[in-house]
A and B are shown apart, each in its own frame.
Chain A
Amino acid sequence: MSNITFRLAWRNLWRRKRRTWLTVGAMVFSNILLVFMISLQIGMYGMMINNTLRAQTGHLQVQAPGYLDDHKIRQVVPDVQRLAEQLRQGLATDEVAARASTFALVSSADRSYGLQITGVEPDFETRVSSLPGLIKEGSFLSDAMAEEVVIGRVLARNLRVEVGDELTFIGSGLDGSFAAAVVTVVGIFESGMPDLDRLFAEVPLDFFQDTFAMGDSGHEIVIMAPGLIQVGATGSRVTALLPADEGLVVHDWDALLPGLKQAIQADFTSAWFMYGILIILVAFSVLNTQLMSVLERTKEFGIVMSLGVTPGRLGRLVLLETTLMATVGLVLGVVLGGALVLWLNYHGFSYPGMEEMSGKFNLPSRIYPQISAIGLLFGPMIILISSVAASLYPAVRLRWLEPVAAMRAA
């Protein structure tokens, strides 16, 4: 029986080829657009999060309470390298690195700038951060005691230094004492992120601790989780591994960079407003088509009802017609949209003006969207569901159809 309904529905669809194709066309158009946009969004958000976290904060950080807001040199994590080592063993991963940072005046032969200096563990920093890999000239720090520094491209230009030149730091130590040191520029990195390239310098951690009278303490331990989804779980494991008496806290990336998640939310909301409009327009199109197709069959429906077909079954027939139509739209939309994304995955996507803007969000100037099940199916599924929902009205209307009156309809 259901086989007959199915066959009827399929044949009914093609009684008016042009109309069906136009409605399917609206679905395919919106589906391709949604597949493209959502894939692009997923790709962009992923890259924004990854690039930003890789370059700056990592997924999780262990800090002294209050350090997140105030960044005071005295808010320390005691014995930071030993604790980092314990975490590496406890979590069975190398993606843990200790850091310390403070503000200092950095001078070259003829320029001075005030900026953030960060002490890092050269052996482990490469595991948690993308900066060592972004060195375009020279090399990364060689060992933990070396009197070396790596700086960003813009800073190097502003200070008028090149690899091999010397820089002087002047700042104050943990105990308030005067701190100064001379270091050699060994590497210049270029991250494409203006703030980082302009205001950031890395020195080896042991050397940093010596210079700024930090003893063996530091300010943060950076931890990368295996993936974004595991950040929560890794966070609780880290909390369990921390010494109980020191009152250290674990922050995840959302707490470390609250702007990032909110920027994504803001963008996400405006994108969904646009998708919503597209979906509503498709739904109207379907509603119109199905209502017309029901109205022009009033006589026919009257006859089959007088032959004993229940209005419920007729309603299901109409819904099935819509479902079939929407499925055709979904398949075509996913295939064509998928092909588009695949092509962009290979060739990359860019638009005029993107280069200037992408730096602000830590994105490359060309985006390569990834094919993913969510990106391919999420939008088209919503279109399918809302199409079927739109045809509920014409389907339910059949309940009030009077067979005799219907048969007499012109």
Chain B
Amino acid sequence: MGELRIISRLAWRNLWRNHRRTLIMLAAIVVGVWAMIFMTALMRGMVDDMVKDGVSALPGHVQIHHPAFRDDPTISNVIAPPDGELLEMLGRPEVVAWATRVRVPAVVSSERDTRGVTLVGIEPERERGISFVADDVTEGRFLESRDDRGVVVGRKLVEKLETGLGKRIVIMSQDQENEIADRGFRIVGIFDSKLVQFEEGYVFGGEGTIQDLLGVGDAISEVAILGTDYRDVEGLRQMVVEAAGSEVEVLPWYELDSYLGSMLAVMDGFVFVWIVVVFLALSFGLVNTLVMAVFERVREIGLMLALGMTPRNILSQIVAEAILLLVIGLAIGNLAAWASIEPLKDGIDVSIVGEGMEYFGAASILYPALYLKDVVLANVIVIVLGFLASLSPAWRASRYDPIRAITKV
């Protein structure tokens, strides 16, 4: 152990013999590490938000459908509401919330205009825990029961239809016999959404009322289930599959919305590539610094070898210098990243490009998300690759022939 102490003390002192060089290298490492973590937190925050919004925008974590529903989302492809084993399973603690819905394409008309929308019949009490609708009603009220005879409409759609709270609209869809089913509804609430496509494309009504309109009895289009964590839904899906039987299709959110799913997968790849790229850009400077440090000490290293230090000691000493430098850089870099992310916790307003962010499916306020696993990944990559990069100059130093090294001018 004494050997280790001497080596690390030597490494530490050697580091500060040329403090300018060390400080410049340190600055480069700090900037690199800061950039790795800061950028990752921003991107993670954006994707997280997209997924959270996407999941709360209707899917839930897992959905049950009629197998043909996704290809042909009409009232012909409905399933019976949960009962027996499935109902029991939905009562387990793994399920945070669940709700049934009737979901059909429909046409809404005001006196002024007509639009195509998706009409969703919901159970207001259950829906509260799952999707955004209840929280985002900013004018009027949310639906009160599954037999509520009013509808809740997005603000943008209200504008397009030139209608308003309390006014009547006509909703037209198909019943199970392919006949046109239509009825007048009163707008009882208006919701705002981060994504315009929701404000424009969805109309929510009471599930019972919509079932009546379409003449489907108590049949439903989907069951949306919310688990504890959107990142880990496979277990939940398995449970639902077992309980729901083989006649229905059970899909996780990342298959329901493949764009969001692939976004999350691509993010993991991106984080890794970004950290490695920044490290590579750093590594040239790191190796260079070590090469210079070895080169200007050739005589000294020769002397140490002549006095009986083993090549291994020399090697460890140079590597120790590199690791010390990296550890200090990492410490400051991590701290700087944390210090710059912390004040941004309340969100960064990027509404200048808000409509562009919507293109990506993201909202116009960015909340950076600092994950321990990303920070660990960055630190591990820097230390491991840094160690590997320092081996070459250290190896060279340890192979010097003492006599030639001492006599070198």
Instruction: List residues of A whose CB falls within 8 A of some B CB.
Output: 16, 18-19, 22-23, 25-26, 29-30, 33, 70-72, 103-105, 109-116, 157-158, 160, 171-172, 199, 258-267, 269-270, 273-274, 277-278, 280-282, 284-285, 287-289, 291-292, 295-296, 351-357, 359-361
Contacts and interface: CB of A to CB of B under 8 A. Distances in A.
Contact of B27 (A113, A273, A284): A284
Contacts of B4: none
B359 A262 contact: yes
Interface string B354-383: 111111110000000000000000000000
B28 A274 contact: no
Contacts of A281: 28, 31-32, 278, 281-282, 285
B172 interface: yes
B115 interface: yes
3 nearest A-B pairs in the assembled complex, by CB-CB distance:
A262-B356, A114-B116, A26-B284
Nearest to A30: B281
A352 B288 contact: no
Contact of A288 (B117, B269, B288, B296): B288
A48 B353 CA distance: 17
B355 A262 contact: yes
A171 B113 CA distance: 10
Given A262-B356, A357-B262, A284 B269 contact: no
Interface residues of B, number: 66
Contacts of A295: 20
B288 A23 contact: yes
B153 to A, nearest CB: 15
A157 B116 contact: no
B78 to A, nearest CB: 15
Contacts of B20: 291, 295
B404 interface: no
A291 to B, nearest CB: 6
Contacts of A282: 281
A104 B304 CA distance: 89
Contacts of B138: none
B51 interface: no
Nearest to A157: B71
A151 to B, nearest CB: 14
Contacts of B115: 103, 114
22 contacts: A22-B291, A26-B284, A72-B113, A112-B107, A112-B180, A157-B71, A158-B105, A172-B114, A262-B353, A266-B353, A270-B42, A273-B39, A277-B35, A280-B28, A281-B282, A282-B281, A284-B27, A284-B31, A285-B285, A285-B288, A295-B20, A356-B262
Nearest to A116: B116
Interface string B328-369: 000000000000000000000010111111111100000000
Contacts of A289: 288
